[in-house]
Amino acid sequence: MTTQNLELSSSSNLDVSQFQHTPYYCEENVFFLCKKLCESGTADAKGSDLFVVFISNEKKQIPLWHQKASNRADGVILWDYHVICIQQKKNGGDSPHLVWDLDSSLPFPSPLDLYISETIRPSFQLFSEYQSRFFRIVHAPVFLQTFASDRRHMKDSVGNWIAEPPAYDPIVAEDGMVHNLNEYLDIHASDVAENAGVDLTSAVFSEKLGVVISHSQLEGFFSQI
């Protein structure tokens, strides 16, 4: 995960410092975040209430606000992609769905509606090249079994690290796959589902790469599954 210059027209006892975090390796950070939420009892032991969400678009230019890596007062930054975890709350009452974003300066975790309004800012007038932001939603139990990264995307053309990698070994999928991050990041407008109906609900629980929706569908999607 890298940044570009941009011009623009808690419900848990877990503290953010308790989570594994390596700057610019958000996909790996979220992998271990899901594991910790399961192990700590904050989420279901198998992660059935957790969803990994890849945010990107065809141009790999997505503005997000309240990001710690930003040097602006409003925290806006232009990522090529970003990865967060959304926890679906099903215990009734007024408990909201939660967003776990280790790179955010918002409360940790944040209610989904707050995260959308403050970080996604769908109503903000963006230049056209930044307007489209798509969300690949993958059920955490599937992601934890199938995701793999050997970090090749974080090396330049001569093999030097763009950002210092984590000290632990790269993540290998249960089937032995060593790298498939590119599959999750290959997001196009044509992939976006037309609605968040029954077929999408089934797909997100069974498909390795989940489903792709737009920001306008995000909150409604988690209300239906």
Catalytic residue among 26, 34, 38, 85, which? 26
Least Cα distance to 31 among 112, 135, 136, 143 occurs for: 143
Catalytic residue among 34, 85, 97, 101, which? 101
Tokens (6 digits) for 110: 């944040």
Catalytic, 113? Answer no
Provide the CB-side half-sphere exposure for 135 (13 A, CA): 23
Q: Burial level of 128, CB count in 10 A (0-12/13-18/19+)? A: exposed
What element of type H or E holds 216? helix 215-224
Q: How far apart are CA 171 and CA 33, in angstroms?
A: 14
Catalytic residue among 66, 82, 97, 139, which? 82
Backbone dihedral region of 92: left (phi > 0), alpha (psi from -120 to 50 degrees) or beta?
left
Catalytic, 101? Answer yes
Catalytic, 34? Answer no
Residues designated as active site: 26, 82, 101
